[in-house]
Structure 1
Amino acid sequence: MNAPASYSPTTGSAEPRPHRGGSFLHDTWTVLLREAGPTVREPVGLAFTMVQPLLFLFLFGPLLGGSGGFAGGQPPWQWFVPGVLVLLCLFGPMMAGYTLLVELLGGSLERMLVSPLNRTAMLIGRTLKESVVLAVQAVLIVALALPLGFELHPLGVLAGLALLTVFGVGLGALSFTLALASQPNGELFYGVTQMLLFPLLLLSGVLLPLDSGPAWLRAAAAVNPVAYIADAERALFAGRFAEAVVLHGALAAAAVAAAGLALGTRAMRRGV
């Protein structure tokens, strides 16, 4: 159906109104399907994505299995499984800007930027693809960790994945912002992500607890939002919803999401 026409006082004739995008949710869903398509059509790459977290689970996890409890007396697997998911959330969305950079350098992104799609929906749709992959990885990891001693709290797992989705959306949006700022050669994107990725990981206590570390290391971790999210994930996965660390993690994830979407939307609008 054609768009209704509007009268033009200068020409005296009816002019078609410009087409506008659909609803925000419709635009988000459209972008999500577009991003998920290539992943589904590449079974080898998808299989590698599913196997990667299992390497952490079975090659690093046993190093903690000999301990009766640490980091507040938590069982090793109860402490380690949420940390692996935070690690995967950090790697996936943070490197999501690489695909945007490829489209940017190839010229295909320009066709999307001139479309009527909502710019914020474009960011969220792209990052939600990473969240879907993370959810599948989480189901696989939890299922394999159960025989090893992991205690399942279904509501806590769902709440933890929701928190990681919020964090991942913000982190992915920041990654896209960096990718747009890195044109035309992308060197800035590679340099900044490599410089930030490992400090954020190592200062979050994802793989090893920081409680016994030196004072300067704990002080550096105190300004790392990933550390608060990791603590919140461990509390949620253990079914402890009322702890203060859950609120701190939710605030950290919300702050990252707000900053990422604000900067990313602005960069997308400038990128037309």
Structure 2
Amino acid sequence: MKFARDTWLIFQRQFLLLIRQPVWLFVGIFQPVMYLLLFAPLLKPALQASSNAEAYRIFVPGLLVLLAIFGGLFQGFGLIAELRAGVIERSRVTPVSRLALLLGRSLRDVVSLIAQAIIITLLALGFGLSVFIGDLLLAYLLLALIALMTSALSYGIALVVKSEDALAPLMNTIAQPVLLLSGILLPLTFAPGWLQGIADWNPFSWAVDGARALFAGDLGNDAVWQGLSVMTVITALAVAWAAREFARSVR
């Protein structure tokens, strides 16, 4: 009970800070909306899709995974600002659970991501996307796991490097190959065999395949459960490692 209460208190504080600066929500969805408006219309002829709905069922899941990855990976910058302001230092004298310090922040990031994903999905519906609500909710669960994992990873790395100058290039170095080897913008079925072989080692490519299967209404597809399983395991590992870094920094 204490752990749940501590997590809720941290989440409340972090969420209040977020809604006091709502511009970040709009900044976060600006790039995905631009992709949706300016890139997605090219997909139907490029993918030789039979309809706009088919093209958007391929593109929108990848776009949402992109939003979850990048939205989480760069959360560490805020934590470095808190370190510099002494917020983390003052946490040493409180009885708050060290794991709650991480999860409260990460859950705020998950809620923010889901809100942005709902906006993107609603916009895509106007362009011809169609998806069953049950499949959509399961896809959002997959996105939540990705956001939780990437934000926890970002917080943990931020506690290690303690510098924006080090965090920025490191996150970009991680994000670039993840983007290119996950089939986010275009399915990897169009890639040569050697590239597909490399992408098989990228856990986010499994998540993208699972999300696309859900948007296509193919709940029984192995990619759905493989993607959920892979992301659940990696998320648990990332949270455990980041929580350990919080415990080291706040004691």
Q: Same fold (TM over 0.5)?
A: yes
- CA drift at 1:68: 3.7
What is the CA–CA distance in structure 2 between the aligned matches of 1:136 and 1:151, rounded to whole Å? 19
Of 195, 200, 209 in structure 1, the residue corresponding to residue 178 of structure 2 is 200
Corresponding residue of 2:15: 36
Tell me if structure 1 keeps the 8 A contact 2:203–2:230: yes
Asked if 1:94 is matched to 2:58, the reply is no
What is the CA–CA distance in structure 2 between the aligned matches of 1:107 and 1:179, rounded to whole Å? 15
Tell me if structure 2 keeps the 8 A contact 1:167–1:256: no
- CA drift at 1:188: 3.1
What is the CA–CA distance in structure 2 between the aligned matches of 1:263 and 1:193, rounded to whole Å? 17
Asked if 1:77 is matched to 2:56, the reply is yes
Structure 2 residue runs without a partner (length 5+): none
Q: 1:48 to 1:167 in 2, by over 3 A?
A: closer
5 Å-filtered alignment, 1:15-30, equals 23-30=2-9
Corresponding residue of 1:117: 96
Of 224, 228, 233 in structure 2, the residue corresponding to residue 250 of structure 1 is 228
Write out per-residue CA displacement over residues 167-220 of structure 1, whole angstroms, 9 at most, x where no aligned residue.
22122111111001102x343322321111011011000001211222331122
Of 39, 44, 47 in structure 2, the residue corresponding to residue 60 of structure 1 is 39
Greater RCO, CA 8 A, separation 6+: 2
What is the CA–CA distance in structure 2 between the aligned matches of 1:231 and 1:113, rounded to whole Å? 42
Q: Give the % identical residues.
A: 36
Decide which structure has the larger Cα Rg and report it.
Answer: 1
What is the CA–CA distance in structure 2 between the aligned matches of 1:120 and 1:241, rounded to whole Å? 34
Aligned AA for 2:134?
Answer: L
Aligned AA for 1:169?
Answer: L
Asked if 1:222 is matched to 2:178, the reply is no
Q: How many residues align?
A: 247
Tell me if structure 2 keeps the 8 A contact 1:83–1:234: yes
Please report the RMSD computed on the Cα atoms of aligned residues, expressed in angstroms.
1.8
Asked if 1:148 is matched to 2:130, the reply is no
Q: 1:240 to 1:262 in 2, by over 3 A?
A: same
Asked if 1:105 is matched to 2:101, the reply is no
Which protein has the bigger helix share? Answer: 2
Corresponding residue of 1:262: 240
What is the CA–CA distance in structure 1 between the aligned matches of 2:238 and 2:217, rounded to whole Å? 29
- CA drift at 1:95: 0.8
